Chains A and B, each alone.
Chain A
C-alpha cells in the first residue's frame, strides 16, 4: 500500500479495488480506457504500440506502458501473438483490465512470460471497479489482483492542458 499518498477524491478513499488475476503480476501506469473493444490483430501495431484500427475512436493513440481498460477483446484469434510480440518488443501495455474474461488475450501474456520471463498482469474486474479505474489517471496493479487508483485532478483544481 502507498500510505504516503493522500486520496485525492473522497469517492475512492478507503475503497480498495480488486479483481481476479487472469495473469498475476504487478504493474502501474497511466490509464487508457478503450471506448470500444479493439482487436489487437489488425487493430494494433506491435512495432509502434499504436492503435491502427481506422474505425476505432482512439485510432492513433499509444497503448505502450499504459494500463489498458477494455470491456472485452475482439476479433481474430491471432491476437495473442500480437500481444506477445508487443511484450517482447517492449511496446505492450503495462497491464490490461477486462470486464469479460478473454482467453486469447490472457494467452498472449502467458506465453510471453513462459518464453521471455516478462509479466503483463491481466485482471478481470466487475463493472464498478471497471468504471472507477476507467475514470482514473493512474492505476497500480498487484499480483493478488488488488488495484490502487489515483484519480484525475478535478478540473476546478487545475487548468486543463
Chain B
C-alpha cells in the first residue's frame, strides 16, 4: 500500500505553507515511504536531537530550514548541545567547532524550539500525557516516552525530528500504532534475588542485557517489584537503547500499558527468556574496560541527565565528604534541574566537595572534561558503553556508592559483596 497523503499535505508539499514546510514534509514523506507508512498523523510535541553539532551536515540542514523561515508548529524541546552555555569556560574543544555549535543552537532557537538542552525532556515540568503522539529523538528519551509515559513516538533522530515539528506531521508507523506496541518477548527476572532490586545498580544491567537480547521485539519484563522508580526505569531504558535498539519495553504491574502480562502481549503467546544474576554480572563485565588496579582519573554521572532525586541520593552518599584532589568528578544535568538543585541549596556544598555540574551537554559528547589521567568510573551503562570510543577512556561500571567511595578514596573501589549468594 502506497503512502496516502491528505489534501492539506499535498498543499504543503506544493508550497502553500512556504518553502521550509514543503522541504520538511518532503523529507517526511520520503522517510514515511521507506518506513512503509500508509498515512501521516498529527503530533502534539517534538524533541530535537539535531542541535548537537557533529558535522557540517547538521548545520547545513538547520541553515536550509532557518534561512527559509521555518517555524515549529508544536511545543518543541531541544536535546543536549555541544556547549555548556552556563559554564562556557569548561569548553576545551576548538574554536571552529564552538562557532559551528553556537550557530547550530541559534538556528534551532530561531525556529521556535525551547532552549531546554536536555536528553531527559521527560524530567521537565510539562511532559507528554498518556497516548499523545510525539516526534521525539534521542534514544533514551524515546524509550522513556513510549514505555514509562505511554506516549507514542517512533525512533526519530536528527533531521526528521525538526521536520515533524515544522510540519506537525509524522508517519503512522512503528510505535505510533497499537499493533507495534504489543510485547512479543518476555523477560522473566524472578530468578534475581529480591534484595538486588533495592539497588539502583542492577537496572542498567538489566537494560543492557535486554537491549542485546531483544532484537527488534518489544519486550515485557515480569517479576520486577511494583515500586520500581522512574530513575530506575530511565537507567534501564537508556542502557537497552545503547546496547540494542530498544525503543519500548513493558514492565508488568509498573508501566501503563502492562497492567497484566496478558495486556502487554495482547493475549498472544510469547517466548519467555529467564534473566539471572550471571546475565547481570556479564553485563557489568562487558561494560567494564578498566581494571580495579588502574589509576582513577574521573567520575562521570548523569547520563542520561541527572534528576533532582538522583542529586538527592548523591548528596546523601557523599555525606559531606570531599572528592580526592587527583580525581575530577562530573555530573551532567539539565539547566532546569540545576535551577532546582540551587533552590534546594545543594549546588554550593557539591561544588565545595569537588563536584563539577555540567549543563546543556554531556561529558561524553563534547570536550568539557579536563585532560583525564587514568580511567573513569560511572554508574551509567550508556556512558560506559560510549566513552571508550568517544573519549578513548577505559571505564569501570559501578554503583553510585562505588563511584562516590572511589572518588573520595582516589582509587577504584567496587563493592562486589552485592553479588554474594543469599
Contact = CB atoms under 8 A, between A and B. Distances in A.
Contact of A82 (B55, B216, B388): B55
A84 B159 CA distance: 10
B58 A81 contact: yes
A106 B52 contact: no
Given A72-B245, A111-B57, A115-B57, A100 B26 contact: no
Interface in B10-64: 23, 26-27, 30-31, 34-36, 49-50, 52, 54-58, 60-61, 64
A65 B36 CA distance: 27
Contacts of A43: 389
Given A111-B27, A114-B27, A52 B36 contact: no
A52 to B, nearest CB: 5
Contacts of B112: none
A80 B216 CA distance: 19
A42 interface: yes
Contacts of A106: 31, 34-35
Contacts of B188: none
B157 A77 contact: yes
Contacts of B64: 115
A107 B55 contact: no
Interface string A90-120: 0000000000110110111011101100000
A78 B60 contact: no
A37 B245 CA distance: 10
Nearest to B215: A72
A91 to B, nearest CB: 11
Interface in B255-300: 286, 289
B410 interface: no
Nearest to A75: B242
Contact of A107 (B36, B159, B388): B159
Contacts of A42: 385-386, 389-390
A49 interface: no
Contacts of A85: 54-58
B155 A77 contact: yes
A100 B174 CA distance: 13
Nearest to B137: A77
Contacts of A64: none
B374 interface: no
B180 to A, nearest CB: 12
Given A73-B245, A115-B60, A78 B158 contact: yes
A81 B139 contact: no
B402 interface: no
B156 interface: yes
Interface in A107-135: 107-108, 110-112, 114-115, 122
A81 B57 contact: yes
A122 B155 CA distance: 18
Contacts of A104: 155-157
A114 B26 contact: yes
A53 interface: yes
B57 A78 contact: no
A80 B30 CA distance: 14
Nearest to A43: B389
B142 interface: yes
B241 interface: yes
B200 interface: no
Given A88-B57, A101-B35, A107-B160, 20 more contacts: A42-B385, A52-B389, A53-B389, A75-B241, A75-B245, A77-B137, A77-B155, A77-B157, A78-B157, A81-B157, A84-B159, A88-B55, A88-B56, A88-B60, A100-B216, A103-B154, A107-B159, A110-B31, A111-B159, A114-B23
Interface of A: 22-23, 37, 41-43, 46, 52-55, 72-82, 84-85, 87-88, 100-101, 103-104, 106-108, 110-112, 114-115, 122
